[in-house]
Amino acid sequence: MESIVRPIKIAATALLWAALGFAAAMLLAITLPNLFGYRSLTVLSGSMEPTMMTGDMVISKWMRPDQTRVGDVVTFQSAESKKLITHRVRSVKMNGDRVDIVTKGDANDTVEHWQAPAAGRVSRVEYDIPKVGYLTNAVSTTNGRLLLVVLPAILLAFYELVKLWRPRREPESKPGSGQALGGTHA
């Protein structure tokens, strides 16, 4: 029985460490850029597919609109809907103290014409992390935050209860180990 249980324990421990390592790497990839002037956003539509899929998280860096170049993927605020849009730059033209920019989603048929002050701000997408946006959106809800606190607490409590209730195993004595197998020493 011991020969079966031991490999299972080793595999479970390795799996736990791999999951913790993956979670730590994702946490660093999402939060560390914020310390250096980047921001993270979740892709909510399929307008940039297949380059960026719905649910991906994009990490972008602030820049002035006059620094954008054709081919950059930028995030800007729509003048009409006030929503953030992440699309590819098709053209950039300086027009006095403002920048006229044309963008288009890779999967869209139409373009957006918009203006920004030359000294304003847009953000250029530096990289994306597939599907992590679903997780961050779930955690940002009240139930998600509650689950993030309650689930680890329940797992820790369960682990401690198992340790308390599990019968202790006495170490087996082996012949020649210095312990008497029967009788008493004189």
Domain chopping of the chain, boundaries: 1-36, 39-130, 132-165
More reliable by pLDDT, 126 or 156: 126
Whether the link from the prior residue into 167 is cis, omega within 30° of 0, is: no
In this structure, are residues 30 and 57 in contact, taking their beta carbons and an 8 Å threshold? yes
Which amino acid would we find at residue 155? Answer: L
CA–CA gap between residue 73 and residue 84 (Å, rounded): 13
| Full-model pTM | 0.67
- The C-alpha angle with vertex 113 and arms to 110 and 117, in degrees rounded to 5, equals 155
CATH code, residues 39-130: 2.10.109.10
CA–CA gap between residue 16 and residue 4 (Å, rounded): 19
pLDDT at 5 over 80: no
CA–CA gap between residue 149 and residue 158 (Å, rounded): 15
- Region 5-33 average pLDDT: 81
pLDDT in the model for residue 172: 67
pLDDT at 155 over 60: yes
pLDDT at 183 over 80: no
Per-residue pLDDT tens over the stretch 69-118: 999 999 998 888 889 999 999 999 999 999 999 999 999 999 999 999 98
pLDDT at 177 over 70: no
pLDDT in the model for residue 43: 95
